[in-house]
Structure 1
Amino acid sequence: MAKDIGIDLGTANVLIYVKGEGIVLNEPSVVAMNTSTNEVVAVGSEAYEMVGRTPGNIQVIRPLEDGVISDFKTTESMLDYFIGKLNLKSRFSKPNIMICCPADVTSVEQRAIIEAAEKAGAKQVYLEFEPKVAAVGAGMDIFKPQGNLVIDIGGGTSDIAVLSMGSIVASNSLRLAGDKMNSDIQNYIKQKYNLMIGERTAEIIKKEVGTAFEPDASSSLSISGRDLMSGLPREISINEVEVEEALHESLNSIIEATKGVLEVTPPELAADIVDRGVMLTGGGSLLKGMDKLFSKELQIPVFLADQPLDSVALGTGILLDHIEKK
């Protein structure tokens, strides 16, 4: 029998959960294509190593943008590669697949996700909303009649949702998350230092000296890029205060969106959230001081999930056990 699988089809990473085995795959959502032959050259980690380093005939594609499929054929090739790599399809049966999507996904986008999973070898496809699955994976009991607030900050989207009795009561999905933070850093360095840096360098800056709250000016990092005036390589030093300044506007947008969701939340559920606090999940929530910033701005306790990067994938594993109830 083919085992049921859960897929966190993220803008930045694809995680696959196999029933009975746990998370068995975690690779970047990147595909390298040869534009001359239209052949797939590399997928996942191998393709990510090529970002910004390929000759003209090799194009590195991110087939998902803002949490949804922007390149259907490439997404299909990527899923097929990952599922094939795990050897999950048997000759006689296909796996059921649970796959996650942003809370504001359109019916057209939903159909594209289902078709991509079916073509990759699914027997039946179940779609679930990311914030609901992330909340379950973070250990929240969303099936009781009580309010739970989860903020899932991924690569392409930030999903904010109030959940009760297993369903979303109020939500908002912003096409603004980890990738936008990277471009914020790139633009800040370009404007302040006249230096062009790559996407991967911006990601390193975010991880090493990125902070959301009370930055430390003494914490700095040396980085290299291309001087826009001379065209030559140049090295500069950037510190936490500068990165916090670069990210301030985007983080503020997520906070304002959260306040907007709380404003339309029924009073009884809002009271539960004040008592129970807010759960932060997703890779973007790992930015230093994120929980403290949200707690200060929302005036509510804020907690970081134990495994924020894995919350959605772990949630699919739990919900797969209840698949017959869907």
Structure 2
Amino acid sequence: MFRFFSRSACEVGIDLGSANTLIYRSGQGIVLTEPSVVALARDGGELVMAGEEACQLLGRCPANLVLSRPLREGVITDFDSAAIMLKHFVRQAIGPSASVARMVIGIPSGVTEVQRRAVLETAAQAGARSVLLIEEPLAAAIGAGLPVNSPVGSMIVDIGGGSTEVAVLCAQGCVVSQSVPVAGDVMNEVIAQYLRKTYDLIVGEHIAEQLKLELASAIDSEQDGTFEVCGQDLLSGLPRTLVVHEAEVRECIREPIKTIVQAVRRTLEHTPAQLIADIYRRGIVLCGGGALLRGLDELIASETRICVHIAESPLASLALGTGQILEHPRQWNRALSVQAVAV
């Protein structure tokens, strides 16, 4: 499966996420972390800015630019913008003169052939001579240090921006997996919708996410923190401030959290008994940005009666996993050819 290039060839692992893109360069580690946002000229479509710089234009984009988030729910929805964005990020990560001999990219479990082809073509547009795909939960588990090489069961829950990937793994493969299009982006959306419906206040995506980061939690708490936001009054169109309470945000995200917990339970229900015993002994591991949501580990532990751990580097687990494949290609050869059984 692997074609071996000279040691001078550049090899990269990519976490191409709906919210952020991370790039791991062989021998160097993670060299780039940027929001998956790109701004193109309205006339001509040339790249103007990408990553954090473009992200700052969300809700502020001038008429002469087109702002795009090329991935939604974990898959590419705007091929042209995705190709331009990835090519720019790769150049930024490895330099303008280096070439990419091999690229390893994580993809959601259960993607269609069309979606898979879109990732391959995007990588080719970015200059990769060889492209290898690995299912995201398997890559995240490798990056989190789970013993997926061994004949014992492990369980990973990767809560990103666009989707949540749940998988039971054994011997370099996904035994049972499920992908649901509910994660951080949906939580931002329901918070913004709540403020609009309840308080006639329109807020941008940045403010909704800030509220989530400051106040969101998955379990009830005696504390009730507050956070002041500024938005646009729906009726007058003028600016208005509002103090939002932690309890309100917790209630907003209750349904998305419920969907994630149900995905974990359904995956366990379809897991063979021997692997269930392994998972009970070893616990469930959370990664992705959603793993940092306060109380989520406690809620999943309560709902499943299984101990839940947060990965050491939850935001970087997937990228680190692609990096491990680059650094030790023969060790992970099977991981790139085995397909998961979608629930």
Following superposition, the deviation at residue 90 of structure 1 comes to: 5.1
Write out per-residue CA displacement over residues 116-150 of structure 1, whole angstroms, 9 at most, x where no aligned residue: 11121112100001100111111111111111110
Write out per-residue CA displacement over residues 56-95 of structure 1, whole angstroms, 9 at most, x where no aligned residue: 222210011111111111111111111112335757x632
1:187-198 paired onto structure 2 within 5 Å: 187-198=193-204
SS of residue paired to 2:101:
coil
Normalising by structure 2, report the TM-score. Answer: 0.92
| Other-structure match for 1:55 | 62
Tell me which of 44, 59, 67 is aligned to 2:51.
44
Tell me which of 112, 117, 140 is aligned to 1:111.
117
| Other-structure match for 1:291 | 297
Distance of 2:210 and 2:155 partners within structure 1? 30
Following superposition, the deviation at residue 324 of structure 1 comes to: 3.6
Tell me which amino acid in the other structure corresponds to 2:91.
G
Structure 1: which 5+ runs fail to align? none
Normalising by structure 1, report the TM-score. Answer: 0.97
C-alpha change, 1:162 and 1:216, in structure 2 (3 Å) is same
| Other-structure match for 1:75 | 82
Distance of 1:21 and 1:321 partners within structure 2? 10
| Other-structure match for 1:31 | 38
| Other-structure match for 1:179 | 185
Distance of 2:97 and 2:45 partners within structure 1? 28
Tell me which amino acid in the other structure corresponds to 2:113.
S
SS of residue paired to 1:96:
strand
**Alpha carbons 2:144, 2:312 under 8 Å: kept:** yes
Distance of 1:286 and 1:218 partners within structure 2? 19
**Alpha carbons 2:159, 2:290 under 8 Å: kept:** yes
Tell me which amino acid in the other structure corresponds to 1:58.
L
Tell me which amino acid in the other structure corresponds to 1:241.
A
Distance of 1:123 and 1:167 partners within structure 2? 26
1:157-306 paired onto structure 2 within 5 Å: 157-306=163-312
Tell me which amino acid in the other structure corresponds to 2:21.
V
| Other-structure match for 1:146 | 152
Q: Which runs of 4+ in 1 moved over 6 A?
A: none
Distance of 2:239 and 2:97 partners within structure 1? 52
**Alpha carbons 1:9, 1:15 under 8 Å: kept:** yes
Q: More deviation in 248-257 or 215-224?
A: 215-224
Following superposition, the deviation at residue 193 of structure 1 comes to: 1.1
Tell me which amino acid in the other structure corresponds to 1:316.
T
Tell me which of 304, 314, 317 is aligned to 1:308.
314
**Alpha carbons 1:185, 1:246 under 8 Å: kept:** yes
Distance of 2:306 and 2:95 partners within structure 1? 43
SS of residue paired to 1:323:
coil
SS of residue paired to 1:100:
strand
Say how many residue pairs are matched.
325
Distance of 1:88 and 1:323 partners within structure 2? 24
Tell me which amino acid in the other structure corresponds to 1:281.
C
Structure 2: which 5+ runs fail to align? 1-7, 334-343
Distance of 1:36 and 1:118 partners within structure 2? 25
Following superposition, the deviation at residue 2 of structure 1 comes to: 1.9
Tell me which amino acid in the other structure corresponds to 1:83.
V
| Other-structure match for 1:120 | 126
Q: CA RMSD in A?
A: 1.3
Tell me which amino acid in the other structure corresponds to 1:62.
R
Following superposition, the deviation at residue 231 of structure 1 comes to: 1.6
Distance of 1:132 and 1:117 partners within structure 2? 20
| Other-structure match for 1:98 | 104
SS of residue paired to 2:253:
helix
